[in-house]
Chains A and B, each alone.
Chain A
Amino acid sequence: MTQRILVPVLLLMGFPALAMEILEETELQSITGQAGVALELGMDFNTNPDGSIALTDCDTLSGPCRLALSFANRTDEWLVLKGYYGNFSIPTLNLDAAYLSEAGSDPSLFDSSKFLDEAQNCLLPGGTCDTSALDNMAAMKIGLPTSIGHYDPGTQISSGYNNILFAMTLTGTAVEFGSGPTGYNANNNGSFLGIRVKDTNSAFAGVNVQGNAYIFGF
């Protein structure tokens, strides 16, 4: 596994040259300006970043590019995904913190049963299940930048679908019966199913995802 982490894009945008000073925790807590963290996520599975396979026999049923599932009480039976390769990337992923009131959800959609334990006790802070309790809860907020997609019937090309780029090929799938922890390397049974994800004009399918996800616990 190769993992490259490129260092943050540091603040090269013309900040005045000041001496580096130690910030107190209270100063950090009082920050109220624009904030957040932006990530670029890219994963290549048995491929190069351009979508080409990293090993010459990755696109064969007998090659080493495999993913296998073994279920309990199914000794030496492997559901093997053969000739498996692809790419997944999110060019920009915004992370932030927020209070749930920010979402502006419709209060008429509230369902208190979602927040009860087995004994029907409310799990929200303060022990009262209502929209006010939820409004005051903090959450991790995830969003992607605005992106407008367009399809041109003249050229038959899509453009602007850039939030998520995804490509996957599964050359074949079959159950293999191999013993031991590497039994999934067996290749006696061919395939019953193959899957491919791409675009008619590109190696990568394009997706736009708008809005915000709020992730919170109770």
Chain B
Amino acid sequence: MQFSILGISKIQRRCVTVGAVLAAFCAQNSPAMEPMENEELATINGQGLAIALDDFRYSTAPTSYLEVVGQSPKQDAIDNGWHRGDARYYGLQMTGAGAGSDWHGNSCNDDLCPVGDGHISDFAPVYNPFVIRVFQYEGYDYQGNLLQGAARPTILETMGPTASSEWRWSFWGEMEVAKGASCPDGGGNTRYCGLQSQTIILGKPITRSGDPSIFRMMQTANSDDPTFGFTYQSALSGDFRFSVNQSSTSPDTLQSVPDFSDNQGLTFRNVDAFLPLGRLHSQAITFDSAGTDGNFTISLTAIPPIAPVYNDFYCDQATECSTQTESTDYFGNSVQAVASPNQETHGYVRWGDFSTAPPTTSATDNGIYFTDPGGNVTNIGVARLEGILIQQMTLTTQGAGQ
């Protein structure tokens, strides 16, 4: 695998001040320097590196941000109504569940307020840490060969916890349209053109059934294009809130921290999402140029149209999809279904807990609901997508080459 990062940067490493500072400096969390026996080290196999994060809390200043800088669109895009867009994401937080506050530091009663007061006791417990390792898995390559034994490619994988504490993840953001332009504010005056919002998740990057998030890097097992690739298994469960309404005293100007309403917004309760992007060793996310004008593609490569490969995707490698089972549906009708659909390659997104009775129109403990600034709730029920399998996907940048 060739993967190189080259730079001609003048890199200054500043002030690597090695303070052999003893005692009091670490007094809050350092009980002792422990002598280690050779036997302890000799028992390490070296097959995995583990990282546990205990009592963890990550908090960015509400005024600190990452900005995606836009540029003026091409003339033909301007002629069709396109404007420059700039986006800023402020104050990324990973904090504990329980009592919390808003961006101005005011306490709020809602469990989906953005900043938790406490830490995350078991973000990645020592009994279930992040594991980084090289590993070999069996699977079909892009040409339909089953790679087994010594032929299995080596991959580098990072596997997240399969169980952890719940935690809050949040940020607030603003989208600025047509930088510097003014738009009507609805009250006869003008204001910035854009939207400020906050996004909050209370949950964990693990499905309700315990599937973790997994990131794998490899050289693609594709004799037609052996390049750098990766797969990502996305997993998430918990509650989600997106809101835009601000209090009457909020600044409501660009680059000023908003005072969002405590409860308003669109909320999804009991979300459970699993999305596997890529399959060892016949589908991966790869990078390439898009034409010659400087743009760039990120592709989830197409599932090869080769029977062993697509049978593996849809029905696992030991079974052909033509194998059907017959059963009886809810209405008593006889139905046939694929005998063993491959659950590893099929994703789902469930907005609400389907194991309980559907929520009422005013429920706030399950499903999808809107809350107005006055606290009135309208619950529209639960929803789900099952059997998500992406055959091919490509994102192509625009704007280079001008």
Binding site for B on A (CB under 8 A): 1-11, 28-47, 49, 54-55, 64-74, 77, 79, 84-85, 89, 94, 96-100, 102-111, 113-115, 117-118, 123, 125-126, 131, 134, 137-139, 141, 143, 145-146, 149-151, 153, 156-158, 161, 173-177, 181-182, 184-185, 188-201, 205-218
B50: contacting residue among A97, A109, A217, CB under 8 A: A217
Cα A200 to Cα B65 in complex, Å, equals 8
Task: Output the least CB separation between A43 and chain B (Å).
Answer: 5
Q: A1 and B11: CB pair below 8 A? A: yes
B155 surroundings in chain A (CB, below 8 A): none
Cα A137 to Cα B126 in complex, Å, equals 10
Cα A188 to Cα B164 in complex, Å, equals 48
Complex: chain B residue closest to A32, CB-CB: B32
Q: What mask results when residues 122 to 162 of chain B are scored 1 for a CB within 8 Å of chain A, else 0?
A: 11011111010001100000000000000000000001011
A43: contacting residue among B13, B57, B226, B255, CB under 8 A: B13
User: Looking at the complex, which of B36-44, B312-320, B330-338 is the stretch in contact with chain A?
Assistant: B36-44
Q: B33 and A156: CB pair below 8 A? A: no
Task: Output the least CB separation between B213 and chain A (Å).
Answer: 14
Within 8 A of A (CB), among B97-144: 103-105, 119-123, 125-129, 131, 135-136
A94 surroundings in chain B (CB, below 8 A): 25-26, 29-30
Q: B48 and A115: CB pair below 8 A? A: yes
Complex: chain B residue closest to A126, CB-CB: B43
Q: B33 and A96: CB pair below 8 A? A: yes
A173 surroundings in chain B (CB, below 8 A): 296, 400
B5: contacting residue among A67, A189, A214, CB under 8 A: A67
B7 surroundings in chain A (CB, below 8 A): 66-68, 84
B32 surroundings in chain A (CB, below 8 A): 31-35
Cα A8 to Cα B293 in complex, Å, equals 51
Complex: chain A residue closest to B11, CB-CB: A1
A72: contacting residue among B3, B16, B26, B402, CB under 8 A: B3
B52 surroundings in chain A (CB, below 8 A): 100, 103, 105, 139, 213-216
B17 surroundings in chain A (CB, below 8 A): 6, 8-9, 39-40
Instruction: Given A10-B20, A72-B227, answer yes or no on A65-B9 (Cβ-Cβ < 8 Å).
Output: yes
Task: Output the least CB separation between B221 and chain A (Å).
Answer: 13
Instruction: Given A1-B13, A175-B294, A212-B54, answer yes or no on A111-B162 (Cβ-Cβ < 8 Å).
Output: yes
Residue B187, interface by CB 8 Å = no
B24 surroundings in chain A (CB, below 8 A): 34
A49 surroundings in chain B (CB, below 8 A): 14-15
B71 surroundings in chain A (CB, below 8 A): 191, 194
Cα A190 to Cα B52 in complex, Å, equals 42
Residue B225, interface by CB 8 Å = yes
A-B contact pairs, 20 of them (CB 8 A): A1-B10, A5-B18, A35-B26, A39-B18, A64-B8, A69-B5, A77-B289, A96-B33, A111-B162, A113-B162, A151-B63, A153-B104, A153-B105, A158-B62, A161-B59, A185-B8, A189-B293, A209-B56, A211-B55, A214-B52
Q: A189 and B45: CB pair below 8 A? A: no
Q: B161 and A109: CB pair below 8 A? A: yes
With A123-B48, A205-B66 already in contact, 8 other A-B pairs whose C-beta atoms are closer than 8 Å: A3-B12, A36-B33, A67-B9, A69-B4, A71-B3, A99-B34, A207-B58, A217-B48
A104: contacting residue among B8, B54, B129, CB under 8 A: B54
- Interface size of B as a range: 35 or more
Cα A47 to Cα B128 in complex, Å, equals 40
A215 surroundings in chain B (CB, below 8 A): 49-52
Cα A190 to Cα B4 in complex, Å, equals 22
A205 surroundings in chain B (CB, below 8 A): 60-61, 64-66
Task: Output the least CB separation between A112 and chain B (Å).
Answer: 9
Instruction: Given A105-B52, A213-B53, answer yes or no on A190-B16 (Cβ-Cβ < 8 Å).
Output: no
B51 surroundings in chain A (CB, below 8 A): 213-215
Residue B1, interface by CB 8 Å = yes
Q: A153 and B23: CB pair below 8 A? A: no
Cα A215 to Cα B50 in complex, Å, equals 6
Residue B219, interface by CB 8 Å = yes
Complex: chain A residue closest to B25, CB-CB: A38
Residue B68, interface by CB 8 Å = yes
Cα A68 to Cα B45 in complex, Å, equals 36
Cα A64 to Cα B7 in complex, Å, equals 9
Instruction: Given A68-B5, A123-B45, answer yes or no on A196-B16 (Cβ-Cβ < 8 Å).
Output: no
B385 surroundings in chain A (CB, below 8 A): none
Q: B18 and A8: CB pair below 8 A? A: yes
Q: B227 and A97: CB pair below 8 A? A: no
Residue B21, interface by CB 8 Å = yes
B66: contacting residue among A79, A139, A153, A197, CB under 8 A: A197
